[in-house]
Structure formats: structure tokens, C-alpha cells
Amino acid sequence: MKRHFVLDDNIIRFAQALKNKYGEDDSTCLDLLERIERNCHALVMGPTFWGRYWHHVNVAQREQRSEAPRVSIHLVPLLYSMAKNNRWVSDIESKDVEGLDQLPGIDEEDRDFVIAAASVPSSILVTDDDPLKTSLESNQIDQQHGFRVRTPQEALDLAGPDNP
């Protein structure tokens, strides 16, 4: 089964740095990108976070940081491969997630990722943002809108080759 992943932009940032949210050396986010690409899974994209993904990649390239190519070699094929079943969620297609603005732990930048996940049934929102994950799960937003919220570590298995 091919899956659709919504990647919070912190996943791209951590993949580039080979760090986790605690600043420790950790390749989990890069491994996740690599598995999604290698196993032909797809991304769910929205116009605002497309730009955020590229911002992280471009900053690393402009600053000539050594991690810049790390993410690009996986992200570029994921975004541009015609063989992928990527989903582009436009403003017109966006599902309304009632009350999202009032939930604690969900900032303005998080909303785009949540709306994209809610707009594509059975998608997987991958985040290492604990307040976001907690708020979505405790308010059952994920269940109400038919998507799952996973940490990068939890998402690794889901990005494997055709697992149920």
C-alpha cells in the first residue's frame, strides 16, 4: 500500500542537520525521506509549505553547509517525479477543520499541515512538534478527519515497502 505523507517542515530541517528535536545526532528524519522516496510513497503538498521546504534547502545551499545535498537528493525526486502519486491541496480543495484556530499548541504555521492532512484521507502527518501532536490527538482532530499523526520514528515503519 502506497501512503501519502504530510511532512511538518521541522522534518526537513532535522533531516538536513542530522539532528533530532533535542539537538542530538539522529538520522531518523533523513532516513524517513529516503524511505518515502525509495518505496514510492507520496507527499501531500500545499502552496505555503512547499515554499517552506525549499527555504530550508536553499538556506543550507546559500550558506554552503555540508548538509545541503543530503535532503535535496531525496526531496527533489519526491517533489518532481511523475511516477509519484503526490497530492497538491489547493485552497479550493482544502477541507475546513472547524475550531483549529482555537486549539492550544497549534500555531499558524502548523495549520497548513493539519489542513493538508485532513484534506487527503488516510494521510500521515509526520511531526516532532509535541504540542501539535498532543493537541490533535487529545481533541481527536486526526480521527474526525481521517488522518494519522506520527513522530518521525513512528513513521519510519509506515514508509517501508508496501506494509499494511
Tell me the CATH number at 18.
3.40.50
Which of 13-17, 80-84, 126-130, 136-140 is predicted with the least confidence, judged by mean pLDDT?
Answer: 80-84
| CA distances to 9, 13, 118, 140 from 96, in Å | 21, 28, 8, 15
72 is a domain residue: yes
Domain count, the chain: 1
53 is a domain residue: yes
Q: Binning pLDDT at 50, 70 and 90, where does residue 28 land?
A: very high
102 is a domain residue: yes
164 is a domain residue: no
163 is a domain residue: no
Domain carrying residue 129: 4-158
Burial class (CB in 10 A: 0-12, 13-18, 19+), 130: exposed
| CA distances to 21, 65, 116, 135 from 25, in Å | 10, 16, 30, 27
- Tens digit of pLDDT for each residue in 60-92? 555 555 554 566 666 666 666 645 677 878 777
Instruction: Give pTM, 2 decimals.
Output: 0.85
59 is a domain residue: yes
The rounded percent of the chain whose pLDDT value lies above 90 is: 44
- Does residue 5 or residue 67 have the better pLDDT? 5
